[in-house]
Structure 1
């Protein structure tokens, strides 16, 4: 009969792709439990950095992902001290480009992740570093040699920082201040950081929403949420249940966040932060039996929206 440790390990493997034997070892050490089956980032700055990466990629990659890698990743190796993300080989250049901060003169704001810099490691991929707090995420992919040429400045976009030695741009500093303060009065930004950092650490569960067409609509409303919506594939309540079972909204240690008293369908809350999952329409290849005027059964082919 499966023990709680085995169940925690199974949930971890299903969410991240970490080998089951490794996840079982984490469960034996008490690093994961059935209530929270994926290791959390222990440092608040690390959680904040991971949350910014999740939010930027959700908005940037919407409806244009490959092979259901909805945030660009096909697996993760999460630990309390850091995070390794496996990048989809067809999306690696796009992911790096979208994360690297550029000043948009037309909008007067930063595109990408404010404070993020690239640290190329020829033997181990690329490390994304935050010059504001020292946090880091390692990106890896199957091909060992990784070269990525970023586009030049142009079309009103100017790179404000590519590499680790480059300091913060004034607009980056302002946007980081806004991020740390929270986008809405009275909202606790630490809840958002817990929730979105956890989401980034569960790529296989996130990717399950895009299995039918290989992509999904992902976007946010400001800083406080991330929406994942799709037309065909698994029901939203299935994806929601998988995310909840993995511990996405489990109250963090010493946080004071309680479990939702009244749950809204498709809305996973932690404090004021939310992950919203919803599906629309029916599968393009789903067939239903309907009656024709003469009483004979016919097959009706329903199209997705």
Structure 2
């Protein structure tokens, strides 16, 4: 095999192993120049799409935390990422909860927003889209059952579903939260944070390796600045970090988003960074957990019946 052909093969293999896309499609992408050895998974083309995907990751990581099923850390089992959009394949037992957690609601219990500000669900059986109010950004959802319809959450004593009252515009609470997101809450380069988190959502098969041992992993963020994925045993931390790096998680950003070499600094093992934007993968090295006992029913109870 020629060097050129070998590079295409390695690129397509990395793409397939990170996303779940068939190798033949990834190989065609490599032949067309859509993906490369250094960036084997396509980035979103626009800042709006990257920011929307980043907000989705931030919410899912914190909402699902260590309550996943079958190691689907973000509730996702596959992805088809293209420059112009993203398709996510939902875990069948987590699909209702994923949608419920993403839809914006005001929580009177702590006086703040839950869900993704500006996100709206549009569609019908077999075709469901997450859309961003005020931008063309969108994510298409797929489910093993082609006729699947999400159970939409209802208002409760504590939660007011903001998406229901304003399907085409932002509620004031959403607008305030978006302002905080865009300001970065202490993140020097929110654009780089959005790139890192958007890329993570586009590589679900690598992310899900963190939950391989017990069917779940702990995921969380510090405000809007980063994302941490940690687990007790199973996959070696260095192995997961290496796979994320090889998949292009820390590759140079898209054109128009330059890096400042002066801001590059050494990072601890397990920290994957673009300047001050970073993702941490961490194996804790001790295990006192058995196989996951989490079920779709128990998660429903924990979620305060939002989507019954």
What is the TM-score when the length of structure 1 is the normalising length?
A: 0.89
CA distance in 2, matches of 1:79, 1:148: 25
What is the CA distance between 1:258 and its match in structure 2?
5.9
Could you tell me which of 157, 163, 177 is aligned with 2:179? 177
| Structure 2: gaps (5+ residues) | 290-308
Q: Could you say what secondary structure the match of 1:78 adopts?
A: strand
CA distance in 1, matches of 2:41, 2:254: 14
CA distance in 2, matches of 1:95, 1:174: 23
Aligned residue number for residue 152 of structure 2: 150
Query: More deviation in 75-84 or 273-282?
Result: 273-282
Where do 4+ consecutive residues of structure 1 move more than 6 Å?
Answer: none
Q: Could you say what secondary structure the match of 2:140 adopts?
A: strand
How many pairs align?
283
Could you tell me which of 259, 264, 267 is aligned with 2:271? 267
Q: Retained in 2: the 8 A contact 1:119–1:164? A: no
Task: Pick closer, same or farther for the CA change 1:244–1:15 going to 2, 3 Å.
Answer: same
CA distance in 2, matches of 1:31, 1:164: 38
Query: More deviation in 250-259 or 59-68?
Result: 250-259
CA distance in 2, matches of 1:49, 1:67: 26
Larger radius of gyration: 1
CA distance in 2, matches of 1:284, 1:220: 23
CA distance in 2, matches of 1:167, 1:28: 42
Aligned residue number for residue 62 of structure 2: 59
Residue 189 of structure 2 is aligned to residue 188 of structure 1: yes
Q: Could you say what secondary structure the match of 1:239 adopts?
A: helix
Q: Which has the higher helix share?
A: 2
Q: Retained in 1: the 8 A contact 2:182–2:190? A: yes
Task: Pick closer, same or farther for the CA change 1:282–1:107 going to 2, 3 Å.
Answer: closer
Task: Pick closer, same or farther for the CA change 1:276–1:61 going to 2, 3 Å.
Answer: same
What is the CA distance between 1:273 and its match in structure 2?
1.2
CA distance in 2, matches of 1:121, 1:151: 16
Task: Pick closer, same or farther for the CA change 1:117–1:276 going to 2, 3 Å.
Answer: same
Aligned residue number for residue 100 of structure 1: 103
CA distance in 1, matches of 2:219, 2:167: 32
CA distance in 2, matches of 1:244, 1:220: 20
| Structure 1: gaps (5+ residues) | 286-305
Residue 88 of structure 2 is aligned to residue 85 of structure 1: yes
CA distance in 2, matches of 1:24, 1:97: 36
CA distance in 1, matches of 2:177, 2:22: 38
What is the CA distance between 1:107 and its match in structure 2?
2.3
Q: Retained in 2: the 8 A contact 1:131–1:164? A: no
What is the TM-score when the length of structure 2 is the normalising length?
A: 0.88
CA distance in 2, matches of 1:164, 1:33: 42
Task: Pick closer, same or farther for the CA change 1:251–1:258 going to 2, 3 Å.
Answer: farther
Q: Could you say what secondary structure the match of 2:230 adopts?
A: strand
Query: More deviation in 140-149 or 12-21?
Result: 140-149
